[in-house]
Amino acid sequence: MSGTQTQAPRTSTAPLLEASNIVKHFPVRSSGLLRRQVGEIHAVCDVSLQLHENETLGLVGESGCGKSTLSRLLLNLLDLTAGEVTYRGQQVSGISRRAMRPLRREMQIVFQDPFASLDSRMTVFSLIAEPLRIQGLFEDDGHARVRELLQLVGLNPEHGNRYPHEFSGGQRQRIGIARALASDPKLIVLDEPVSALDVSIQAGVINLLEDLQDRFDLSYLFVAHDLSVVRHIADRVAVMYLGRIVEEAPTDQLFASPSHPYTQALISAVPFPDPHKERARERIIVTGDVPNPSDPPSGCRFRTRCPKFAAELSSSQQQQCIDEVPQLIDRGQGHPAACHFAEAHRMV
């Protein structure tokens, strides 16, 4: 099954979803009566990406890197500061809510927290029926459709009149998936859909997502911080750091030969559940913490923590990192990376 969805995306057609140079700044206001704007958080900075039909794009990064903000910008749940998002060539960003409604049918989202994302006062039936009602799809066969959806996600269709709190975390996440599927979308943004779940439950949800994708030709934007999960499910991966995409490659390539120092550090930090390999492996330890996004470092945003910057580069090279924002381009490593001195490094 998963054999069909590995490797290169089908790039023959135009992308389903395309973001061009999108920027999102959140104002930071003073707490006084006037609430003057005292600064800006640079949450997403000049990001471009494409998502093709039937493809899973993994978006990884650590907390605060802007991946969740980016996913909401793509769905027009937040207003852009600059840039443009298109869905099937049609402008999505900046259009009215009314104009957006028919598009919402095709673009859905599954959230991280299976508790907060389901209104605890609604029954499972009303939760799953909600998108149908909003989209005017409920009609006469709404009840049958909800039952069918429950069955699709592996739940008992008789449980429609129960409340979310009567279900376990994994089951609740399945309810969230059924809700996202209700309007028969083409694209689903999965925002950390399994990170709140226990390991043994997580696998079932991942398998379910894979099956649903095959069955309904879905495109996924899979946002996560867990590299192992992303590697398992994604066809292509984009790595984010402090609001920028620092590296983007087909999954196998990214994990086999990451070329941005951040990606390398990220991969090396993921513990293997294998004692021998884990003890023997090379580790690239990144020092310090993610800088404040309201005052990001000049030039390359990773330079303050970059092991390469600290240990390998000459002072003139370091100056380049400080002065010049590295472009996300292929410097001979086979895929784009935003590092002036990108160099493929075999890791796994």
Partner 1 sequence: MTDSRPPRQHVDPVATAPPDGDEDPSRDAEAITTRQRSQLQLVALRFVRHRAAMVSLFVFVLIVAFAFIGPHLWEWDHTVSRDIPSSQPPSWEHPFGTTSAGNDVFAQVMRGTQKSLQVAFTVGALTVIIGALWGTIAGYYRGKVDAVMMRIVDVLLIIPLLVLVVAIAGSARGGTTWWAVALIIGLFGWTTAARVVRGVVLSLREQEFVEASKAMGASDARIIFTHLLPNAAGPIIVAGTLAIALAILAEAGLSFLGFGIQPPDTSLGLLVERARTAARTRPWLFYPPGFMIVLIALTINFIGDGLRDALDPRQTTMRR
Partner 2 sequence: MSVTDPAAPRRAGEAVLEIEDLHVAFPSEDGLVQAVRGVSYEVRAGEALGIVGESGAGKSVSSMAVMGLLPKNAQIEGSAKVLGQEMLGLKDAKISRIRGDQVAMIFQDPLTSLTPVYTIGRQLAEAVLAHRNVSKQAARERAIELLELVGIPNPQERVDAYPHELSGGMRQRVVIAIAMANDPDVIIADEPTTALDVTVQAQVLEALESARTQTGAALVMITHDLGVIAGHVDRVCVMYAGRIVESGTVDDVFYAPRMPYTLGLLGSLPRLDGSRDERLTPITGTPPSLVNLPPGCPFAPRCPLARDRCREEEPPLEAVDVASRHLAACHFSDELVGKEATDLFTESILDADVADEIVAEHGGQA
CB of 104 to partner 1, least distance (A): 4
Among 10, 29, 36, 101, binds partner 1 (CB under 8 A): 101
Measured between alpha carbons, how far is 12 from 87 in angstroms, rounded to an integer? 16
CB of 86 to partner 1, least distance (A): 14
CB of 53 to partner 1, least distance (A): 13
- 184 Cβ contact list (under 8 Å, min separation 6): 105, 216
How far from 88 is each of 82, 139, 225, 314, 333, CA to CA, in Å? 20, 28, 28, 46, 30
What tokens appear for 297 in the block? Answer: 């470092």
Q: Where are the alpha helices (DSSP H) in the chain?
A: 67-74, 97-104, 124-134, 142-152, 169-181, 199-216, 227-233, 251-256, 261-269, 275-280, 307-311, 315-323
Q: In the stretch 275-294, what mask flags binding to partner 2 with x, by CB under 8 A?
A: xxxxx---x-xxxxxx----
Binding of partner 1 at residue 13 (CB under 8 A)?
A: no
CB of 22 to partner 2, least distance (A): 24
* Three-state DSSP class for residue 55: coil
Q: In the stretch 183-212, what mask flags binding to partner 2 with x, by CB under 8 A?
A: ---------------xxxxxxx-xxx-xx-
- Assign 3-class secondary structure to 280-326: HCCCCCCCCCCCCCCCCCCCCCCCCCCHHHHHCCCHHHHHHHHHCCC
Binding of partner 2 at residue 165 (CB under 8 A)?
A: no
Which of partner 1, partner 2, none is residue 207 near (CB under 5 to 8 Å by kind)? Answer: partner 2
* Closest listed residue to residue 72, CA positions, set 107, 27, 117: 107
How many residues line the site for partner 2 (CB under 8 A)? 60
Q: List residues near partner 1 by CB under 8 A.
A: 72, 75, 77, 90, 97, 100-102, 104-109, 111-113, 116-123, 130-131, 134-135, 137, 145, 148, 151-152, 154, 156, 158, 161-163, 165, 176, 179, 183-184, 215-216
Q: List residues near partner 2 by CB under 8 A.
A: 1-3, 6, 62-63, 153-156, 159, 168, 170-171, 174, 198-204, 206-208, 210-211, 225, 227-229, 231-233, 251-252, 255, 265-279, 283, 285-290, 348
